[in-house]
Homo-oligomer: A and B are copies of this chain.
Amino acid sequence: MLSTKTNNGRYFEDFTLNEVIQHAAPRTITAGDCALYLGLYGSRNPLHCSQPFAQSVGYKTTPVDDLLAFHIAFGKTVPDISVNAIANLGYADVRFIQPVFVGDTLSTSSQVIGLKQNSSGKNGVVWVRSTAVNQQNQPVLSWVRWVMVHKNNLDSPAPATVVPELPDFVAPEHLTISSDLSAKKFDRTATGGQYFWEDYQASERINHAAGLTINDSDHSLATHLYQNNARLHFENLYFLKDINVMDAVQIQKGKRLVYGGVAISMCRALSIDGLENAISIVAINAGTHANPTFAGDTIYCVTEVLDTWRLPNSDFGALRLRMVGIKNMSPAHLTEFKTDKGYHPNVVLDLDYTVLIPRKGNY
């Protein structure tokens, strides 16, 4: 007697405009999560590994790495939103609203804010605004993403087309700067960085020297840690699921697609070289996973400074940055990331994000 209790996820016709989906598996973040994340990417940002440094900038203790919190909050949405996705089309308006500390419990919900069936009638685009709250029900993260999802029943009627208006970037006045944060005692010895907000200018390009080779075990550990259960990250045989056993044994095994968030974390850790004092991410303005990555690829990173904002009432300024992830190629050898034909095949990530960095007069 075959059970129908397994969850095959939502198809395009299962999403309704404005509905709110509460995602399962609330998560209490522990010191163990932070250590494993550090082991995966090796970040040297003292805000997340040194309690005295965190206290010197005004926090009670070390906040959890911004991207660890994001990936965990994001992971909860996967079973409900993107398990039947054909493509993750983009992110927008990602706001890091308040810091997350060890012991905090994150829960995530998503509201459907846009729907558009594709002309083929076989699939459609779903826009969701997701919000993660802590155990006091305070929002800590908020973001929009949109995915292309299969229809299961091709006869189901197309919904009314609603395409949400999204900002090109999170404007400086919408950035949330913790009132605890102060640069008065900022210890540049702890960061190892000598450059501050005034030292960066738009159009500056930083070719970060170091790279990082991806292992299957690494990205699998990371993606499990985020409780992201998208099958294509975990199963060599996923794409072969409909062929029979003997064939599966004969055919060369498939590869596991690396979760896009892995490249973001790698690039963030690599880009600390030259951005040592940019200790916090406050927004992701837009993001594209331009090409897939697999185990064996070595990831490099380039940063371009897009804009610099002074920020009123804060010791910190903001840098709007472009983070470009490149596979198997030195940043020095790649000048054009994207042409009118699309992305260079070695570009894996194009992320527009905003960081905080002390201004010189304030530390």
Contact = CB atoms under 8 A, between A and B. Distances in A.
Contacts of A51: 28, 103, 105, 135
A151 interface: no
Interface stretch (A115-123, A169-177, A206-214, A281-289): A206-214
A235 B212 contact: yes
Interface in A43-59: 43-46, 49-53
A297 to B, nearest CB: 9
A32 to B, nearest CB: 3
A44 B31 contact: no
A219 B102 CA distance: 26
Q: Is the interface on chain A under 10, 10 to 19, 20 to 34, or 35 or more residues?
A: 35 or more
Contact of A42 (B35, B52, B229): B229
Interface string A18-40: 00001111111011111110111
A187 to B, nearest CB: 9
A195 interface: yes
B41 A34 contact: no
Given A42-B224, A224-B38, A206 B6 contact: yes
Interface in A87-118: 103, 105
A127 to B, nearest CB: 22
Contacts of A211: 231, 234-235, 237-238
Contact of A6 (B43, B44, B79, B274): B274
A341 interface: no
Contact of A231 (B62, B135, B209, B276): B209
Contacts of A203: 1
A221 B41 CA distance: 8
Nearest to A76: B44
Interface stretch (A154-162, A242-250, A306-314, A348-356): A242-250
Interface stretch (A139-147, A178-186, A326-334): A326-334
Given A40-B221, A212-B235, A218-B221, 14 more contacts: A1-B201, A2-B205, A5-B195, A24-B44, A31-B32, A32-B35, A36-B36, A40-B224, A42-B225, A217-B218, A236-B296, A241-B330, A245-B329, A248-B329
